[in-house]
């Protein structure tokens, strides 16, 4: 998908996540804090600035101005770009004319090198492409774990229609996860490495940071009630049978069938929306 090539299919006003390389701008009302000071600020915020690499809340955009939630906010990497995005978000916008752009693919080689991976070699070996993040994501409800589900606006609309069509047929589809940032994918590797897995073991299940279809916001993992998430047993469910029959006609494809050329294990739960 080329930068700026897609028109946004925006949901209700104020429910988009504004994405920058280091910091996400979440719409107010979706985040919760444990301490009273931050909780009061988040409850009133129009947007919340959230550090991507660890989920730290950085600042709340209140009606009376920006409230820092960390010390030395002005020294935070990427803060100027995030504040510019916040200012643009406050400007009046013409409905239907907004476009989704792609964030630059910077710092990925450094991250892959830290994992002992060569970016060019990995791409050639797997046939996977680098996947940019969109600069805006749409709120698509909540996933199984009551976390906000973020998807590319086109995928969010398509997922809503797919979910509703399944319900009409008596089938419940649960979203397990949607958009993941490059930083989030790196965190998956770091946690699994800390548990003793090797990089090669992880790569059979997770694409390297920068190469996951989840970065685009066009892919999501789907589950069924009372079924474990992201397990091959999903293929035995009525939900999977319904997807096999109906999802392709609604623009969704299963990315990693058996014996796929990318070296990724069979993932009957992973579906991608092919934006037209």
Q: What is the pLDDT of residues 28-76, one digit of tens each?
A: 988 877 777 788 888 899 999 999 988 999 999 999 999 999 999 999 9
Q: What is the pLDDT of residue 7?
A: 31
Q: What is the pLDDT of residue 150?
A: 98
Tokens of 126: 């797997």
Q: What is the pLDDT of residue 23?
A: 97
Record the pTM.
0.89
- pLDDT tens for 70-112 read 999 999 999 999 999 999 888 876 655 468 999 998 788 888 8
Q: What is the pLDDT of residue 94?
A: 62
Please count the CA atoms within 13 angstroms of the CA of 71 that sit on its side-chain side: 0
Question: Rounded to whole angstroms, how far apart are CA atoms 62 and 74?
Answer: 17
Q: Say if residue 2's pLDDT is above 60.
A: no
Q: What is the pLDDT of residue 120?
A: 83
Q: What is the pLDDT of residue 155?
A: 97
Q: What is the pLDDT of residue 95?
A: 57
Domains of the chain: 6-100 (no CATH), 108-273 (3.30.1380.10)
The percentage of the chain sitting over the pLDDT mark of 70, rounded to a whole number, equals 92
Q: What is the pLDDT of residue 276?
A: 54
Across the chain, what does the average pLDDT equal?
A: 89
The percentage of the chain sitting over the pLDDT mark of 90, rounded to a whole number, equals 71
- pLDDT tens for 122-160 read 999 999 999 999 999 999 999 999 999 999 999 999 999
């Amino acid at each position: 998908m080329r930068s700026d090539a897609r028109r946004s299919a925006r949901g209700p006003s104020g429910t988009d996540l504004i994405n920058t390389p280091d910091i996400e701008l979440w719409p107010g009302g979706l985040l919760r804090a444990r301490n009273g000071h931050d909780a009061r600020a988040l409850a009133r915020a129009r947007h919340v600035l959230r550090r991507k690499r660890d989920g730290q809340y950085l600042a709340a955009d209140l009606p009376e101005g920006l409230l820092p939630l960390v010390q030395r906010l002005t020294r935070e990497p990427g803060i100027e770009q995030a504040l510019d995005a916040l200012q643009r978000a406050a400007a009046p916008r013409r409905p239907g004319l907004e476009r989704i752009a792609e964030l630059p693919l910077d710092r990925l080689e450094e991250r892959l090198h830290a994992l002992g991976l060569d970016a060019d070699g990995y791409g050639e070996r797997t046939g996977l492409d680098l996947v940019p993040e969109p600069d805006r994501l749409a709120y698509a409800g909540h996933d199984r774990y009551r976390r906000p589900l973020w998807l590319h606006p086109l995928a969010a609309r398509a997922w809503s229609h797919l979910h509703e069509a399944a319900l009409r047929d008596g089938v419940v589809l649960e979203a397990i996860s949607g958009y993941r940032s490059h930083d989030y994918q790196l965190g998956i590797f770091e946690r699994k490495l800390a548990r003793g897995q090797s990089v090669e073991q992880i790569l059979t299940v997770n694409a390297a940071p920068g190469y996951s279809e989840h970065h685009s916001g066009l892919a999501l993992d789907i589950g069924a009630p009372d079924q474990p998430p992201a397990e091959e047993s999903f293929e035995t469910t009525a939900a999977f049978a319904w997807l096999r029959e109906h999802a392709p006609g609604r623009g969704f494809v299963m990315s990693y069938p058996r014996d796929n050329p990318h070296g990724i294990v069979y993932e009957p739960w992973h579906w991608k929306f092919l934006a037209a």
